[in-house]
């Protein structure tokens, strides 16, 4: 049975994606900080009869990411798809943004996807199949006041994915990156932007690229501007 990893599965896009994939009948490995919201996602999946493992993981901690990768492999072997959705936004001007806020955003938004990909990649290469789907942001194409660390980390993530895709050519694996605009989630609150799409809109797109899209989309950068 297909196994899909979803990071940041407790709320917003991650939760919508996990529930949508559950309806497709896949097995799920859910990664997120220990929270009531993550427990709620797990409970709803359990009530629907979905096979899954809930892995509590602080994505700022390299050791916890590597331990989570081991749990994933023990649960279901090499994943068929890995959806790197987890992200964090800490707003502040360049003049006033604390270094800790800068480092947290780079840790979660950029370093964690690298580490989890690196840890799972050997098993997927050995099987010669698998898909990596990354959630970046339309902020990876522009500048935004009071969001320098977030934007920079998302620009970096898009560059990482394009490079990964080149390394995956002729391996049977693919890497794609989705760039949503203003999504109606908690993260958007306080940014000054009006929502232009729902979490379900993005979840539908992630499902497509994780399970259904032609392999020829390797390296694709998919922008979602909303309506």
Residue spans of beta strands (DSSP E) within the chain = 3-7, 27-32, 52-56, 81-84, 130-135, 173-180, 221-224
Rg for the chain (alpha carbons), in Å? 16
For 44, the token pair is 């709803």
**Residue 12 to residues 16, 151, 181, 197, 214, Cα–Cα distance (Å):** 6, 19, 14, 12, 26
The residue behind tokens 């099987």 is: 127
209 annotated active-site:
no
Cα angle value 177/180/181 (rounded, 5°): 150
Cβ atoms within 10 Å of 140's Cβ, excluding its own: 21
For 130, the token pair is 């698998």
Strand partners, 173: 130
Write down the catalytic residue from 52, 150, 160, 209.
Answer: 150
Among 187, 201, 131, residue whose Cα is nearest residue 154 = 187
Catalogue the active-site residues: 150
């Amino acid at each position: 049975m297909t196994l899909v990893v979803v990071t940041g599965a407790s709320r917003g896009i991650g939760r919508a994606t996990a529930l949508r994939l559950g309806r497709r009948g896949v097995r799920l490995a859910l990664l997120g900080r220990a929270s009531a919201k993550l427990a709620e996602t797990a409970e709803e999946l359990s009530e629907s009869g979905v096979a899954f493992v809930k892995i509590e993981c602080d994505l700022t901690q390299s050791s916890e990411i590597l331990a989570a990768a081991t749990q994933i492999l023990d649960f279901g072997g090499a994943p068929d798809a890995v959806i790197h959705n987890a992200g964090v936004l800490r707003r502040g001007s360049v003049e006033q943004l604390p270094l800790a806020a800068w480092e947290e955003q780079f840790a979660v938004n950029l370093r964690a996807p690298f580490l989890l990909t690196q840890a799972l990649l050997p098993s997927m290469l050995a099987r010669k199949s698998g898909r990596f789907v990354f959630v970046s942001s339309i902020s990876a194409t522009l500048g935004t006041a009071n969001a320098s660390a977030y934007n920079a980390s998302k620009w970096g993530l898009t560059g990482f994915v394009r490079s990964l895709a080149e390394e995956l050519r002729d391996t049977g694996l693919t890497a794609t990156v989705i760039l949503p605009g203003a999504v109606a989630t908690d993260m958007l609150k306080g940014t000054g932007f009006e929502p232009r799409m729902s979490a379900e809109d993005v979840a539908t797109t992630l499902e497509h690229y994780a399970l259904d899209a032609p392999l020829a989309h390797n390296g694709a950068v998919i922008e979602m501007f909303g309506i």
